[in-house]
Amino acid sequence: MSIISNLSELQDAVREHRKPEADVTPLFLNRWSPRAFSDRKVSGNDLQAVLEAAHWAPSSYNDQPWRFIVATEEDQLEVFRSFLGDFNKLWATKAPVLIVVASDKLRENGDPNGAHAFDAGAAWGYLALQASLKGLISHAIGGFDREKARQLLNVPDHFELHAVIALGYQGDKNELPEALQAREIPNTRKPLSSVVFEGKVN
């Protein structure tokens, strides 16, 4: 399947399945989390742009507590794959880039940073949107062995490990295990009214 027909098929799928309730920029709808990755590598420039975007996220006191541990070489990827949960190994093994997102639980003066996870989440959001703008796909993975990752990647205890991000190009869903093929469509959202409250929570 060519990249162009693949992309237009994807946009059709987004239009079919995602019906926003307000006039939102398509960027937000076009980002979703496929599991079918192609063999195509991500260029160094594109990878840098995605990480650059992530670190322009806002953070409490501009502490920038996020850290990104990146695997692009086969020997690094093998290590990262070794701590993915079994379900996630089924599909994420093909991704040409895996990124562990961590954040520092402590501020520079040693005080606890209560906002570190919130800030790391914002950075991941920026990363995913920049990836989408570049025609890349990204998929966050919370199902991984954090202790194993911490040991293998030498991550000190004061960093929390949040997710592994699979990054690459959309591939052919027919190459996924059958059970996953049916899930390879953009999902939807709860009604806005069920997550937004006026004045106070009812």
Ligand X SMILES: Cc1cc2nc3c(=O)[nH]c(=O)nc-3n(C[C@H](O)[C@H](O)[C@H](O)COP(=O)(O)O)c2cc1C
**Binding-site member from 143, 145, 173, 181 for ligand X (CB under 6 A):** 143
Q: How far is the CB of 92 from ligand X (least distance, A)?
A: 8
Of the pair 178, 198, the CB lying nearest ligand X is at 178
Task: Based on the shown chain and the rule CB under 6 A, indicate whether residue 83 belongs to the binding site for ligand X.
Answer: no
Q: Can you tell me the distance from the alpha carbon of 202 to that of 199, in angstroms, rounded to the nearest whole number?
A: 9
Main-chain dihedrals φ then ψ at residue 138, nearest 5 degrees: -135, 150
Helices (H) and strands (E) in the chain, counts: 8, 4
Of the pair 21, 111, the CB lying nearest ligand X is at 21
Task: Based on the shown chain and the rule CB under 6 A, indicate whether residue 32 belongs to the binding site for ligand X.
Answer: yes
DSSP 8-state symbol, 48 = H
Q: Can you tell me the distance from the alpha carbon of 109 to that of 158, in angstroms, rounded to the nearest whole number?
A: 13
Task: Based on the shown chain and the rule CB under 6 A, indicate whether residue 141 belongs to the binding site for ligand X.
Answer: yes
Task: Based on the shown chain and the rule CB under 6 A, indicate whether residue 93 belongs to the binding site for ligand X.
Answer: no
**Binding-site member from 6, 30, 33, 93 for ligand X (CB under 6 A):** 33
**Binding-site member from 36, 163, 165, 176 for ligand X (CB under 6 A):** 163
Task: Based on the shown chain and the rule CB under 6 A, indicate whether residue 102 belongs to the binding site for ligand X.
Answer: no
Neighbours of 98 (CB within 10 A): 25
Q: Sign of the CA dihedral 193, 198, 200, 202? A: negative
Q: How far is CA 31 from CA 23, 44, 72, 171, 185, in A?
A: 16, 21, 22, 15, 12
Of the pair 47, 120, the CB lying nearest ligand X is at 120
Of the pair 112, 142, the CB lying nearest ligand X is at 142
Q: How far is the CB of 34 from ligand X (least distance, A)?
A: 8
Residues in the chain: 202
Residues that bind ligand X (CB under 6 A): 32-33, 88, 140-143, 163, 186-187
